[in-house]
Amino acid sequence: MGRLIDLLRERFGDKIVESHAELGDETIVIRRDDQLEIFRHLREDPAMAFDFLVDEIGVDYLGRTPRFDLVCQLLSVKHRHRLRVKVPIEEGDCWAHSLSSIWKSANWLEREAWDLVGIRFEGHPDLRRILMYPSFEGHPLRKDYPFNRRQPIVPERDPIENPWPPRGVGIRR
Amino acid sequence: MTAPAHAGRPPMPPLQRASDPVHEIMELQMGPSHPASHGTIKFNLRLDGETIVECDVEIGYLHRGFEKMCEQGTWSQCFPYTDRLNYASPLINNVAFALAGEKLAGIEAPERAQWIRMILSEVSRVCDHLTCLGMASVEVGAFTVGLYMNEAREYLYDIVEAVTGARVTVSYCRIGGLTNDVPARFADVLKDRFAKVRALVSDCDKLLSRNRIFVDRMSGVGVMTPQDAISYGVSGPMLRATGVAYDVRKAFPYLYYDRVEFDVPTGTRGDNYDRFRMRLLEIEQSMRIAEQGVALMPPGDVRIKDPRYVLPPKRDVYNSIEGLMNHFKIVMEGIKIPAGETYLSVEGANGELGFYLVSDGSGRPYRVRVRGPCFFGMASLGQMLQGLMIADIVTTFGMVNMIGGECDR
């Protein structure tokens, strides 16, 4: 086990649901209810000092319960160490606490996680879509969103029912 | 036909109308296609005269669904997509994806391949900085510098073209190595081109660095404190301009960055001028790394010989059934990377470029996530622009160096 995991297990006990250090990436899994407490500790504790939220994304494990993982990559610029924190999220209760009060980068990252994976963030100041347009339906990075589904803003013309006019009719060259 | 739905962006909260129209706040939308902003981006501005009161940055105009596309193909088929993330330095994306994939697979490319990756990453970094600085100079009126830097970049593209066969869409790396070795006269070409680039960059330095007009436009504009920069997740030259010496190449050495000598320049004020200086100084450091790399590079293979991950030689494919089957399996089913997850980051031209990969053991990636550095620079732009003038948007945005392909994915 990694050094950080040992420290966190000592401090939080069974609030750390699971942990591993596969391939050298120290990872902990926590419950959503403890999310804010643990993240605040990670930010403020001098031994941790994770001042840099590198990434915060949703991963859809379709068919597993709980279905989603919120995956955060943390970095301490001061101590030069990294940690990955995962928060499992149920499909029917798909929200997490917003980290935007702890790290400013969480603001846009959470907008993206909402936009693409559909995880709502409680306490986010401005949760709207960021990469897709506001009237887009669904969340494209979910596994049950078909990769070839089309959502044209302007309705598409059916080429069978409404083909181009024959050559020379209507179109002047 | 219904009204176009994209017009339905939630409006900003209503304005407080002042009784005196002179003091009224005006809303202005700059972009998405503005001639002074390279890249498709929209600024929703609130202006008091020419001063920016509030700025809401809207991105996503170049969203192509990179992460969704990667999930549809095999691992090898992701490489052409990674070229199109940061198209100013595609080789760094290639290298980052290959390294992340190799970390997940538990393999390592041969030493020569790693050195070549490192040298070409640095060449790409110079290209990226030249693009950024050249375009930013054109936008403030220094057209000559733009042309000089483009010329220098073309010299470097000659190197890239000689090695990979393409200027921009390189697709040069593979999981387990590289597509091919560098040409025989690589070291000579590199030396020759670097000499030309150095001369041009030195000219640009003289034209800009102490130029009164340029310094007045850049200095003290777009200031960010180190605390804010770290909190916003800003990395690379923008973070180092604030004085924080964080560079992935030094902090978490990958490839052979711990075997070469180079300096990490840092700024003091965190304004646009410092960001400009950081990039200019890094050009020299990158060329230093590349030159050391060429001297230290050993001969040998550029691909591992593991049949699980690497295509067999064509001689085997055409002459033996095992070779043919191996080839077929890798092309049709994809290489089978063991189930697991990993995050690997490299120092991209604009900051920490990371790949988070999840594999389920099939031949296709389960989840590919790219952490593009520009995204975070753009997130901080709204705050940086507050209180500045409209004309400062152009310089500040230029120094963030947003690359649409990477920011919007």
* Residue B5: per-residue pLDDT: 41
Disruptive mutation site among A18, A19, A22, A23 for chain B (greatest number of B CBs within 10 Å): A23
The contacts found for B207-211 with CB under 8 angstroms, 24 or more apart, are B207/B142, B207/B144, B207/B145, B207/B148, B208/B137, B208/B142, B208/B145, B208/B276, B209/B277, B209/B280, B211/B142
* Residue B140: per-residue pLDDT: 87
Q: Say if A29 is an interface residue toward chain B (CB within 8 Å).
A: no
First to last CA, chain A: 73
Contacts of B230 in chain A (CB under 8 A): 51-52, 77
pTM beyond cutoff 0.80: yes
Q: Is A77's CB within 8 Å of B230's CB?
A: yes
- Residue B229 binned pLDDT confidence (cut-offs 50, 70, 90): very high
- Distance set, CA B104 to CA A24, A59, B346, B355 (Å): 11, 17, 15, 11
Mean pLDDT of B122-143: 90
Dmax (CA) of chain A = 81
Q: Which of B261, B222, B214 is closest to B241 using CA atoms?
A: B222
How far apart CA B185 and CA B271 sit, in angstroms, is 42
Task: Quote the minimal CA–CA distance from A49 to chain B in Å.
Answer: 12
Please write the tens of the pLDDT for every residue from B294-306.
Answer: 998 898 888 888 8
Is 90 exceeded by the pLDDT of residue A152? no
Q: Find the helix or strand (DSSP H, E) in which B317 lies.
A: helix B314-319
Contacts of B251 in chain A (CB under 8 A): 80
Non-local (6+) Cβ contacts of A117 within 8 A are A57, A58, A59, A60, A68, A139, A141, A142
* Residue B114, Cβ density class (10 Å: 0-12 exposed, 13-18 middle, ≥19 buried): buried
Pairing of strands B26-30, A27-30: unpaired
Contacts of B232 in chain A (CB under 8 A): 104-105
Chain A residue closest to B383 (CA)? A104
* Residue B21: per-residue pLDDT: 62
Inter-helix orientation angle B390-400/B111-139, to 10°: 170
Question: Residue A171: which domain range?
Answer: 1-173
Q: Is residue B245 part of a domain?
A: yes
Task: Quote the minimal CA–CA distance from B376 to chain A in Å.
Answer: 7
* Three state DSSP letters for B230-276: HHCCCCCHHHHHCCCCCCHHHHCCCCCHHHCCCCCCCCCCCCHHHHH
CATH of the domain at A168: 3.30.460.80
Q: Is A71's CB within 8 Å of B356's CB?
A: yes
Q: Is residue B254 part of a domain?
A: yes
- Distance set, CA B206 to CA B149, B152, B194 (Å): 13, 15, 18
The interface predicted TM-score (ipTM) is: 0.85
Contacts of B346 in chain A (CB under 8 A): none
Mean pLDDT of A133-140: 87
Q: B383 or A156: which carries more pLDDT confidence?
A: B383
Please write the tens of the pLDDT for every residue from B323-368.
Answer: 899 999 898 888 989 998 999 999 988 999 999 999 988 888 999 9
B363 is written with which tokens? 């031949």
Q: How many domains does chain A have?
A: 1
Q: Out of A55, A80, A107, whose CB is closest to B356?
A: A55
How far apart CA B310 and CA B323 sit, in angstroms, is 11
B265 is written with which tokens? 């320049």
Q: Out of A51, A60, A153, whose CB is closest to B5?
A: A153
Question: Residue B185: which domain range?
Answer: 74-306
Is 80 exceeded by the pLDDT of residue B17? no
Non-local (6+) Cβ contacts of B140 within 8 A are B213, B214, B217, B218, B394, B395, B398
Q: Is residue B56 part of a domain?
A: no
Q: Out of A51, A109, A140, whose CB is closest to B65?
A: A140
CATH of the domain at B104: 1.10.645.10
Q: How many domains does chain B have?
A: 1
DSSP letter assigned to residue B4: P
Q: Out of B5, B244, B340, whose CB is closest to A23?
A: B340
B282 is written with which tokens? 């890094």
